[in-house]
């Protein structure tokens, strides 16, 4: 039987009668609390990033393919949809879907209100899955390849400003380069959506691409570009380069990060908050364990002297106390996981904590529980704490058997 483990088990079994018992409880509680804070923090920040990211992608897809001379305005030069990669591109591993689109800037006007908007024209190949859980009134609509529909989706913020509801008629006005007066189109609100991203909700209206083709005097095969949806966001840059190499020389690709760099740069800054919390919590846990280990060593000075007198090596005795510390850390990790994961699950399924959507883009605190993150947090905390305990355990080498036994 392992000598160090045998002594460790003996110490733990007798720990109830020692004055260090409350100190150990404080150490366990400190580690559990620190780990819980780390789990909840990472779950919230990663959940927030994923939710906001998915909302931005829902409006613009992962990758857009368009005319090479297109600028940042909504009046891009048209291209034909009869491309060698359409629609076969979605057969490539990692690419989920490809669809056509076109944008047209315009205004909505009522008797007492006026608002600038962007009509996003989509076709029968459009993936409506993003809007399925964003519709708060009405429903989505179907687009037919041969018949033009006047139905549209409008955001809650625009509907509130213009005092619209599902089923109302809407008049929009658009300008073209060859006309001095705006061209009006009448639409019918089929559904009202809310995503929480005010920048997009105040701007976009979803409608049939045939209206934009008609207003711009385009033929039925002319579009502004293609939207590509991929399976894994982590493959965005790789697939962006792959698609760029597959398209013709007069076409260009832009990833969603290139289209909205300010949003994704802001999301990346959230990682700094997580790192600060992780460093602070691990530091607190490590300092707590160092203090606890020193107390355990001082309490067992007599035992250390006896073991040395019997011929035990310094490293063997140090291992006994390191095993004690690992037990305390492990107990704290178990309790921390139960408490932290439990809080996350409660918030994930019951949404106990709500947020003002105008400020945070989400109506509740989002949670993303990832098993990989949990493993990294637990293993990282354990390794750092144990490594930091090796140095203070060196005090055992300074204890001499004679003094330890004489003054015990």
Enumerate the domain spans of the chain.
3-55+264-406, 69-248
Q: Is the pLDDT of residue 1 over 80?
A: no
Model confidence at 43: pLDDT above 90? yes
Between residues 246 and 14, which one has the greater pLDDT? 246
Question: How far apart, in Å, are the Cα atoms of 123 and each of 4, 23, 166, 197, 326?
Answer: 72, 67, 21, 24, 61
Cα(336)–Cα(244) distance, rounded to whole angstroms?
47
In this model, does residue 12 exceed pLDDT 80?
Answer: no
- The pLDDT value given to residue 106: 93
Mean pLDDT for the chain? 90
Residue 407 pLDDT > 70: no
Supply the DSSP symbol for 400: -
Q: Tell me the pLDDT tens digit for each residue of 61-105.
A: 999 999 886 555 667 789 999 999 998 999 999 999 999 999 999
pLDDT tens, position by position, 13-26: 765 566 678 888 89
Q: What is the pLDDT of residues 210-219, one digit of tens each?
A: 999 999 989 9
pLDDT (0 to 100) of residue 300: 85
Percent of the chain surpassing pLDDT 70: 95
Task: Return the half-sphere exposure (C-beta side, CA atoms, 13 A cut-off) of residue 271.
Answer: 5
Buried b (16+ CB within 10 A) or exposed e, 253-291: bbbbbebbeebbeebeeeeeebeebbeebbeebbebbbe
pTM of the model: 0.87
The whole-number pLDDT of residue 71 equals 57
């Amino acid at each position: 039987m392992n000598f160090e483990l045998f002594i460790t088990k003996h110490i733990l079994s007798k720990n109830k009668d020692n004055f260090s018992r409350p100190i150990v409880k404080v150490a366990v509680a400190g580690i559990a609390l620190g780990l819980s804070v780390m789990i909840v923090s990472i779950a919230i920040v990663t959940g927030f990033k994923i939710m906001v990211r998915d909302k931005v992608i829902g409006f613009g897809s992962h990758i857009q393919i368009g005319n090479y001379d297109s600028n940042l305005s909504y009046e891009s030069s048209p291209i034909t949809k009869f491309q060698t990669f359409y629609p076969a591109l979605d057969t490539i591993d990692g690419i989920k879907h490809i669809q056509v689109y076109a944008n047209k800037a315009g205004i909505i006007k009522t008797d007492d209100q006026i608002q600038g908007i962007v009509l996003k024209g989509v076709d029968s190949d459009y993936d409506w899955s993003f809007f399925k859980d964003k519709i708060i009134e009405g429903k989505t609509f179907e687009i037919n390849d041969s018949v033009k529909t006047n139905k549209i989706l409008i955001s809650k913020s625009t509907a509130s400003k213009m005092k619209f509801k599902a089923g109302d008629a809407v008049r929009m006005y658009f300008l073209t380069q060859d006309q001095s007066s705006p061209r009006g189109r009448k639409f019918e609100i089929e559904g009202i959506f809310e995503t929480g991203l005010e920048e997009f909700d105040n701007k976009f209206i979803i409608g049939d691409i045939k209206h934009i083709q008609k207003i711009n005097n385009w033929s039925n095969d002319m579009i502004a570009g293609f939207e590509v949806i991929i399976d894994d966001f982590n493959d965005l840059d790789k697939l962006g380069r792959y698609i760029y190499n597959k398209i013709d020389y007069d076409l260009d690709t832009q990833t969603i990060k290139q289209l909205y760099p300010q949003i994704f740069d802001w999301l990346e800054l959230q990682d700094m908050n997580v790192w600060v919390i992780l460093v602070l919590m691990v530091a607190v846990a490590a300092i707590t364990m160092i203090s606890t280990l020193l107390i355990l060593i001082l309490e067992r000075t007599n035992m250390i002297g006896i073991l040395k007198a019997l011929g035990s090596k310094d490293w063997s005795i140090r291992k006994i106390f390191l095993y004690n510390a690992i037990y305390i850390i492990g107990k704290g990790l178990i309790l921390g996981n139960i408490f932290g994961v439990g809080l996350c699950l409660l918030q994930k399924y019951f949404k106990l904590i709500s947020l003002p959507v105008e400020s945070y883009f989400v109506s509740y605190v989002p949670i993303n529980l990832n098993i990989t993150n949990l493993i990294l947090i637990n293993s990282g905390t354990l390794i750092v704490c144990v490594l930091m305990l090796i140095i203070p355990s060196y005090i055992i080498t300074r204890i001499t058997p004679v003094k330890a036994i004489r003054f015990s």
